[in-house]
Amino acid sequence: MTSPKKLVLILGDQLDLESTALADFDAANDQILMVESIHEAQYVWSHQAKIALFISAMRHFARALKDLNYPLTYIRNSNLSIIGVLKEKILEDNITHLVCIEPGEWRLKQELLELADELHLQLDMREDKHFFCTQKEFQEWAVNKKELRLEYFYRLMRKTHNILIDADGNPEGGQWNFDQDNRKPYPKKGPGIIDDPMMFEPDEITQEVIEFVGKTYPDHPGSLEKFRWPVTRHQALEALHYFVEYRLRNFGIYQDAMWTNTPYGWHSILSSSLNLKLLNPREVIAAVLDAWKKYSLDLSTVEGFIRQILGWREFVRGMYYLDMPQMAEDNYYNHQNALPQWYWNGKTNMACMRDAIGQTLEYGYAHHIQRLMVTGNFALLAEILPSEVCEWYLAIYVDAIEWVELPNTAGMALFANGGRFTSKPYIASGAYIKRMSNYCDSCQYKPDVRFGESACPMTTLYWNFLIKHREQFESSPRTRLMTANLKRISDTDQKAIVQHARRILSDLNAL
Ligand SMILES: Cc1cc2nc3c(=O)[nH]c(=O)nc-3n(C[C@H](O)[C@H](O)[C@H](O)COP(=O)(O)OP(=O)(O)OC[C@H]3O[C@@H](n4cnc5c(N)ncnc54)[C@H](O)[C@@H]3O)c2cc1C
Ligand code: SF4
């Protein structure tokens, strides 16, 4: 009997030497395949730094595999899709068994299943161990639930994994969540001195990749000049330890704060390393818990951070697999406007959008509140087609992979799934942005003016949205208060708001 010919496929966001795909690897018989596909860089109009990050991290990982004498076929810059290359390789080498970790993109998973079927392959698709919660566990939790809410899921994760639980089985500090201590704006004078996150000078491999991306994708958005992302596990671990030592202390309190020329605030900047699997969330949480004791950090900042990893990150992944492919189609409000061109170049008069988009183009990064309450908030209020917005987010952030990007954008920012896992649309007027940032100080618009020449577009569109969806907002106790404020605006002013909003919506590119 001939022995099975096994191929292990490692995708660009599965860069872990401890991967279960390699657990039973037999170097004498098995082989590994990694593919750089031009198609992956182009199927959305990806930021140059995102392309460079993936390619550089893949090439560094390939070198680590080679150093360990793994038999690896590494295909550079293929014109074929990943599936196209894989098919060629399987046919050429008479492969009978394919091993992989479940992809973070529904589309690719389907294509792999179809290929295995077509070629009569034995496909061994293994669970991704970079999550606390398996898909099966999430499905079991979600089944028959009337409401799918982060809070209850998060508490279950805390208990199941015994994280921030005291000796009596209660949450540390007597509460599950310290939101009221977190989420403050910076002081009026500004954020003061913030320790920069740890960044890495491009080494030879990265420099070569940067040059390659600049030449191959010159018309793609974004800049490569400030490329300093961790591209190896070693660098990612350094970045993690630096974060917990120097920056975690102020993460909680200022996690929602925004300020011009302050692209990272006190955030961890670890999402790309987590998503490429250079880091495991278990070691991130262990490092945070360790730092809590070692540096006597406030429980509020520690809990606030752990909630992001153990709560949101796990929750959105569960929701993605639960709701795909429907999630990508959802358009609850039937919004149809095109994404304004300036989302791709930052050339807008709105100071908040200019700053959030500007730093996104410069670094491929914006923090959560910039994504949710600035660019996301505007996209919802401006009635932009969800699929165009989702494409932008997937293209423009270095940490964007569909399992995490889509639920955050379609589900959380745009309410495109009608509140399947959020209790209300996340909308805010210019007043919120004024409270949480200094953006409005340098803006030609006025955050408290609702209509007319100097009116803030966020504010006009916010009130217009409430007027338009008044009934929906009044039907829920969580949102009733928002429409209650409408009663303080005269009918004449409400008409003027609607008229001004119509003008804005008819030419979003002019803003
Ligand atoms: C519209 C929109 C799109 C988003 N797209 C992405 C995306 O493509 N990729 C991505 O990783 N995150 C995405 N997020 C979530 C969040 O904004 C980023 O994870 C975070 O800004 C990354 O920066 P950081 O590492 O400094 O995070 P921190 O603020 O330091 O948070 C720590 C970690 O928690 C995790 N985390 C925090 N919030 C979330 C969340 N809502 N969902 C999942 N994980 C979370 C991340 O792994 C992050 O690294 C999106 C959020 C919104 C509102
Ligand atoms: S005034 Fe409005 S548009 Fe200008 S920065 Fe403030 S919120 Fe943004």
Q: Would the CB of 267 count as within 6 Å of ligand 1?
A: yes
Give the model's pLDDT for residue 136. Answer: 94
Mean pLDDT (the chain, rounded): 96
Q: Kindly state if the Cβ of 309 falls inside 6 Å of ligand 1.
A: yes
Structural domains in the chain plus CATH codes: 6-126 (3.40.50.620), 135-217+230-323 (1.25.40.80), 341-510 (1.10.579.10)
Q: 492 burial class (0-12, 13-18, 19+ CB within 10 angstroms)?
A: exposed
Closest ligand 2 atom to Cα of 429: 7
Task: Read off the pLDDT band of 40 (50, 70, 90).
Answer: confident
Indicate if the pLDDT at residue 499 is higher than 60: yes
State both tokens at 475. Answer: 């039907």
Dihedral over Cα of 460, 465, 471, 475: its sign: negative
The confidence score (pLDDT) of residue 206 equals 98
On the question of pLDDT at 445 being above 60, the answer is: yes
Residue-wise pLDDT tens digits, 26-38: 999 999 999 999 9
List of long-range contacts for 202-205, beta carbons under 8 Å, 24+ apart: 202/56, 202/227, 202/228, 205/56, 205/59, 205/60, 205/63, 205/231
Separation of CA 271 and ligand 1 centre (Å): 6
| Residues 447-480 pLDDT 10s | 999 999 999 999 999 999 999 999 989 988 888 8
Apex 365 CA angle, 359 and 368, nearest 5: 105
Task: Tell me the percentage of the chain whose pLDDT exceeds 90.
Answer: 93
Of residues 490, 492, 488, 470, the one with CA closest to residue 480: 470
274 lines ligand 1 (CB under 6 A): yes
Give me the pLDDT at residue 443, please.
98
- 368 CA distance to ligand 1 centroid (A)? 6
Q: Tell me how far the alpha carbon of residue 396 lies from the centroid of ligand 1, in angstroms.
A: 13
Handedness of CA 74, 78, 82, 86 (dihedral sign): negative
Question: How confident is the model at residue 3, as a pLDDT?
Answer: 61
Whether the per-residue pLDDT at 124 is higher than 90: the answer is yes
**Strands annotated E in 79-117:** 97-101
Query: Can you tell me the distance from the alpha carbon of 177 to that of 300, in angstroms, rounded to the nearest whole number?
Result: 8
What does the DSSP assignment read for 371-429?
IIIIIIHHHHHTTB-HHHHHHHHHHH-TT--HHHHHIIIIIIIS-TTSSSS-SS-----
Ligand 1 centroid to residue 309 C-alpha, Å: 9
Residue 183: predicted pLDDT: 85
Longest dimension (CA), the chain: 85
pLDDT at 391 over 80: yes
Mutation pick for ligand 2 pocket among 258, 349, 352, 444 (CB with most ligand atoms within 8 Å):
352
Q: How far is CA 166 from the centre of its chain?
A: 31
Owner of token pair 């403050």: 184
Would you say residue 180 has pLDDT above 90? no
Q: Please report which confidence band the pLDDT of residue 4 belongs to, taking 50, 70 and 90 as the band edges.
A: low
Least confident of 192-196, 227-231, 274-278: 192-196
